[in-house]
Structure 1
């Protein structure tokens, strides 16, 4: 997740939150009295325009921070009174919806219409044995559908299906409860056994190209430790420990560390006064790891908790701490693009979580930065910090503690532009774009160190005193200037388009 802070005035100190201080949490409940059509929320997602979309028992709901709009499809039969959206997956200009007892739907964000997607014979329809259990859109754009009768893969552009089940000898069972994807783009399945005399679950890696399912017991046999449960509801790649995987299970949480080749299991107990009693089983629905490494845990029965791995300590929020938190069953934890946490829960409405870490500490930056005026701060997708200054160019502060200082050398166009840094952003290719107040746009490739400068008055750029820069989701570079000009550069060609202020044009 990238993070940007704008013009910060005259800063003599560079400050960041102090992670050693426990977070202070405040909950704000949004319910029917605010226009929410139903208190049962199953899933939360955000579109490219910043709107929140909720999967509720009343249908698909859009929330703009003020009002709710409900979208539903009349089904034309006795069940038309319900259109419960259980799960939402983001597609290309659409959402993929799991609607309870009705199957798979595509919702177009262009014309706001629903299209029912018929699953292959034997896997679709309204039969109880073919109910959808999980949806997952992978990094390649494929939509995976876990059902009680097998696994379906759907290629939306080709409108092509492929299915796998227990009867073809590939999967160890038909009940595909969860479809997961690790940071290597590998698909994992949690398959549940529901037959009499055959209980339990199997977690394994699935290779659709080879039609091969490898149980985790075999894949992780050489690891130190074993999984306490293979009934997995969700998974999360760790931001703080690359190569590690958090699993939410019916017994708590597990950490699979592929680099250390180890497995660690952590359980918590239901709150029962000052000292919770340890129990064998405490299920977890969902997980979120924040930038501090703190793990937010949505449980099946105990509401919201946090887990601090270093001390192996749990903190009970909501009911246990007498905060006005939502009910005991947390369905989803979602952090929007503005850094606000939202919780979905069973029969408890939408919950907005405001988090304060309380306190600051000095970042271990070069001494020179402490004595300079900081104008811009930006965190890139790799976790490095870019610090723009008033008179000493640009600093790249690496997440491992090192740094690089890029300064202007007059007459040398291979160096960064002169003047205060007024804008920093990153495009989809990972290149950094920097705006200098003296009319210079710099394009920097951190991998190669190659720097390219575009000067105001050239490259069709109109502005001279640049004040702001941002890269949008289409990779267009938008630039604001003091001379009443807003313009953007097209990706690739860098052709400029101008919007001039005309006081006579309303």
Structure 2
């Protein structure tokens, strides 16, 4: 490193002298050699940058006062508000209020807390009316577990095990709710049975052994039976310990419950008015906090010692975070982390302000980044690193730019991905995400200067691994190879766009408007230099904006200059260039790509080819496999298989339809693992060569912080990527980025806890919602679906999180849905069985009736025809009989008449 600094110092000295000789140094320019000698070890640091999205009444919350939050097993977020219960899937807020459509009673109106029973798919909701409501999570209906539920009041509750609940309080004794058999079985423990309606304590050793304490008795509920194990004492604290139960009474007597027997174990010498406020177990010590002192009880010997020093914490109360760590607070503004047998104090409140609130209401979680978040009631939100040595404080502001809406926070949880959810008083819920811990941001001219002095227009890596950075304010910074130190700085009256180290020790600096600095004997003034490249014969190729391509070659008396494409519209604006391993110069211009075999071109200026003339190419690189990659602004990223000179290059275009974050590509750089990092005018995309997929990132919550510039991307020797943009430098450590991929399984949020639904014929136009429940990437998720039995093909991928069908015929259908996140990787397919009942007139019963009716009609018709035929036959027979009779009587008459005639 020492030799590289010396080399750069010498280079800058030569540059300074050449600038002085040429008379082109800008006004106020500082000698870079001097600054290089006076180098300073400025260690660059970065605070955590976060982005936040708020969920409020405008998004569908029933109230902006959210007292409790939790994420269920499926992934939904549940919010307990002052106006009902709400479920959130990242797209839609579903509310559970007091009305006939939800089937939820008024008991759920002002909710305080909710607890999920995963096994039995029930959500128990506690309201401010001191009542507990059971919500069936499958159908969203309330389940009545007791006829007296509207009359009973309980202040405390505990889920002993899945399917078994205990409720207790100071008015109505206690109640056991057992629904492990599939139906609710309740048992009241009222004054008639336990001698008191006041139950201050219930604790459990396991699901079969529960300790119930009244104001003067101790009961053990074991295997369905209740036993009184002590009388005449009131317990104030209990603590399960190694299949035993430690207890302390209000008089200071310490008891231990083992094998169903309660034995006096020790004694704490309370003074008058001294009561226990909190406790915790530390190995074999039981720490007991009172309103005046602290005590340590050895659970093996019963020895009691009064705590001193840091452990003397009057009014101590204990919190447990989501990782099981213990924290102690006592209304002094100090929060203490218990670390082994020591305490790590954090002063979060000025002590004088604690008199104006009840308790500090600390809530603590650790997120998936390993950061510790602490919410307070009155002092906003704190975030700490693991060892609590670094912190950041978020407070609400008038402009609404803070991640929290109020400093009075009511709760905080960490979700399963990388988000933190904070509820604030009257401000709804904030979803906070750390932009990324694998990213640092450097502001060359200091973080407070949001002007041209921090807009980076050029980033170049030098031969020794150090990095040169040019800003739009004319400053040129020289950083160490690890970007931890600024080795030098110079100022020019024109922006620096290119820098190249020559074999002879010269450092050529190209500027926009002032030509080339650092090249002795070269007259190249007043040119808009955009890029430079030196070929194998030490000739310099210079791309200018408006003056075409220039070739600078050494002569005895200095340098000679040739220019090309001056009058070619588009080609005369050369923005970038690179020379491949075959000695071919590739120039990216505002009018496409130029391929120049340099040795042939020097002899014959017609020996070049142009491609993709309708592309404006902002950057061009050659990767480790010899392929070209072009940044085509507005058209995306272009991969070029260059061919061998005889075969034509092949072009492959990647854009937003392939997963690119934005088509306005600015710069591209490859890393040793074969991946690409692509900066755009709004966001960054990483091309994963192994997965052949894109991963998109927004590293700033401010849109301007996601704007990057052309000619401003390099890969450091340690594998980190440096991108220049409107907000300084973004340094990316790819191995530490927490990109969530593959977590795109779809949940049908309209019917979340069932894989099959049955709809009536009147409901045959369903609108089915779905979500990935990945709250970190909801806006970038795309869905496609197909209704088997109705659709012929998959739908066009869209961010619309629902599928709507109109007037489906009765029958069975399978709705297939899959989703992909911003990286373009599709997740697993989810399937929902949809059965649509036919109308009554098409049901089997109706068909049977129709068959019976048809059969009846046929029978009637047959009977009618038969009867008519019978009648016709009868008539015919009667007519024949009549005719026969007539003939007979005629013949008889004739016979009688003939003799008479003879007579």
TM-score, with length taken from structure 2: 0.30
Matched, 1:253 2:335: yes
Which of 339, 346, 353 matches 2:432? 353
Partner of 1:289: 366
Q: Of 115, 118, 131, which aligns to 1:103? A: 131
- Kindly indicate whether the alpha-carbon contact (under 8 Å) linking 1:286 and 1:332 is maintained by their aligned counterparts in 2: yes
The equivalent residue for 2:85 is: 60
Distance 2:249 2:47 in 1: 37
2:113 to 83, 87, 90: 87
- d(CA) in 2 for partners of 1:283 and 1:192? 26
> 1:237–1:246: 8 Å Cα contact kept in structure 2?
no
Report if the CA contact (8 A) 1:151-1:174 is conserved.
no
Match of 2:395 in 1: 318
Q: Does 1:299 align with 2:347?
A: no
Which aligned pairs between 1:168-317 and structure 2 lie closer than 5 A? 168-170=216-218, 198=273, 201-204=276-279, 215=288, 217-219=295-297, 225-226=310-311, 228=313, 230=315, 232=317, 234-236=319-321, 238=323, 244-247=325-328, 250-251=331-332, 252-257=334-339, 260-269=340-349, 283-308=360-385, 310-312=387-389, 314-317=391-394
Verify: 1:45 aligned to 2:130, yes or no: no
SS in 2 for 1:167: coil
Post-superposition offset of 1:145: 4.6
Q: Give me the whole-angstrom Cα distance separating, in 2, the residues matched to 1:248 and 1:119.
A: 41
Aligned to 1:27: 52
The structural deviation recorded for 1:94 is 1.0
Higher relative contact order (CA 8 A, sep 6+): 1
Distance 1:203 1:31, change over 3 A: same
Contact 2:68 2:113 in 1 (8 A): yes
Rounded to whole Å, the distance in 1 between the matches of 2:174 and 2:287 is 15
- Distance verdict in 2 for CA 1:153–1:23, change over 3 Å: farther
Matched with 2:791 is none
Give the Å deviation of 1:347.
1.8
State the 1:55 CA deviation. Answer: 0.8
User: What is the CA distance between 1:144 and its match in structure 2?
Assistant: 5.3
Unmatched tracts of structure 2, length 5 or more: 1-44, 190-201, 203-211, 220-232, 252-271, 290-294, 299-303, 441-481, 483-670, 676-688, 692-740, 744-827, 831-903
| Cα shift readout 1:10-40 (whole Å, capped 9, x = no counterpart) | xxxxxxxxxx853212332222222222111
- Which secondary structure does the structure 2 equivalent of 1:33 belong to? helix
Partner deviation per Cα, 1:310-367 (whole Å, 9 max, x = no partner)? 35555321227972522233222122223222112222112111222454599xxxxx
Q: Which residue of 1 aligns with 2:180?
A: 157
CA RMSD of aligned residues (A): 5.4
Distance 2:288 2:147 in 1: 27
> Aligned residue for 1:11?
none
Q: What is the rounded CA distance, in whole Å, between the counterparts of 1:156 and 1:327 in structure 2?
A: 41
Which blocks of at least 5 consecutive residues in structure 1 are unaligned? 1-19, 207-212, 271-275, 363-369, 375-388, 392-421, 425-485, 489-506
Task: Quote the offset at 1:277 in angstroms.
Answer: 7.7
Deviation at 1:89, TM superposition (A): 0.7
Distance 1:307 1:116 in 2: 44
1: CA distance between counterparts of 2:403 and 2:250? 35
What is the match of residue 751 of structure 2? none
SS at match of 1:255: strand
Following superposition, the deviation at residue 218 of structure 1 comes to 4.1
Correspondence for 1:3: none
On the 8 A contact 1:238/1:246 being kept in 2, the answer is no
**Take 2:168 and 2:73, find their aligned partners in 1: how far apart are those partners?**
27
Rg: which structure is higher?
2
Q: Deviations 1:49-73 (Å, cap 9, x if unpaired)?
A: 3322211112111122222221134
The TM-score with structure 1 as length reference comes to 0.51
Cα distance, 1:302 vs. partner? 1.8
2:403–2:432 Cα contact (<8 Å) kept: no
| 1:444-481 deviation line (CA, Å, top 9, x unaligned) | xxxxxxxxxxxxxxxxxxxxxxxxxxxxxxxxxxxxxx
| 1:176-220 CA-partner distances (Å, limit 9, x unpaired) | 9xx9999x9999999999xxx9576522479xxxxxx99463447
Instruction: Determine the C-alpha separation between the residues in 1 that align with 2:384 and 2:329.
Output: 13
Contact 2:278 2:316 in 1 (8 A): yes
Structure 2 CA distance for partners of 1:201 and 1:359, relative to 1, 3 Å: same
Return the structure number with greater helix share. 2
Residue pairs, 1:476-487, within 5 angstroms: none
Judge conservation of contact 1:204–1:215 (CA < 8 Å) in 2.
yes
